């Protein structure tokens, strides 16, 4: 198994996959090997089908299923040169759902409930910029460009770099945090061991804060990203600007936030308002 993992790491790097994607694929491959008790190089389509049934029984989200399937397709298609083993796999599709969005008051309650300053600043930044959890965890101090008023996102999805807005309020918060904490270089948010802040630990901190704030809604780091997009639209930011800030390739992905913005919906008015109707 170790030989297969080493080859897969090499192939992932040659394919230009991001460190996060490499981590996800290797973790999924390790899970598959542990479940079957056999090295993937000796497994065939029957073993893969049993693994897929096991994943389905766990009621994983469509996104998590796609990650597992993509890892298997890469493993057998690229590293092992046996694409026929996973030829039967199809991509699970998400059921259309409106994103969960908090009100500004609810966001403030959650941020106040974060006891540790590092995580309060970390999630304040995510709400202020719309960054993904992984993108925020990989920020370095050099990425903060105070002169230009932007943050450079170097670890975006699909290895795409982009700029996001660094507002005056956020800059002030980051400077106060830096003066108080001084995280180990080069990271903006780091552990005491000098490694980037753990996304999983950060996610759990936010979950505890949401419970302490008494919110009935499920609050995740991605929900704060939803809040950034929706609240930006409500503040009058153009949809295409929001698209660029979020790093979306398609405007259709961004447009769904207009469906949950109460201010945008109410501002649309009703055709009945133009009629002279008397009851």
Catalytic sites, residue numbers: 132, 157, 222, 225, 248, 257
What's the start-to-end Cα distance of the chain, in Å? 77
- Both tokens of residue 266? 């109410």
């Amino acid at each position: 198994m170790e030989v297969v993992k080493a080859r897969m790491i090499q192939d992932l790097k040659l394919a230009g996959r991001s460190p996060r994607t490499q981590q996800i694929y290797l973790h999924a491959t390790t899970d598959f090997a542990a479940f079957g008790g056999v090295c993937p190089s000796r497994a065939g389509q029957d073993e893969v089908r049993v693994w897929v049934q096991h994943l389905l029984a766990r009621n994983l989200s469509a996104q998590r299923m796609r990650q597992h399937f993509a890892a298997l397709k890469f493993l057998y298609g690229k590293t092992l040169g046996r694409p026929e083993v996973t030829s039967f796999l199809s991509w699970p599709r998400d059921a259309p759902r409106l994103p969960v969005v908090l009100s500004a008051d609810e966001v403030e309650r959650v941020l106040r409930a974060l006891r540790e300053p590092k995580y309060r600043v970390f999630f304040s930044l995510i709400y202020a910029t719309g960054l993904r959890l992984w993108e925020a965890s990989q920020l370095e101090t050099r990425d903060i460009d105070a002169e230009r008023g932007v943050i450079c996102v170097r670890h975006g999805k699909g290895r795409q770099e982009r700029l996001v807005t660094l507002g005056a309020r956020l800059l002030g918060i980051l400077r106060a945090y830096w003066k108080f904490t001084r995280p180990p270089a080069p990271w903006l948010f780091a552990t005491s061991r000098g490694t980037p802040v753990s996304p999983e630990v950060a996610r759990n901190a936010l979950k505890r804060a949401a419970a302490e704030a008494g919110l009935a809604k499920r609050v995740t780091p991605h929900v704060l990203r939803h809040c950034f997009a929706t609240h930006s639209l409500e503040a009058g930011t153009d949809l295409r600007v929001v698209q660029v800030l979020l790093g979306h390739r398609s405007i259709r992905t961004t447009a769904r936030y207009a469906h949950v913005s109460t201010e945008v919906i109410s501002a649309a008015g009703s055709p009945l308002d133009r009629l002279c109707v008397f009851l």
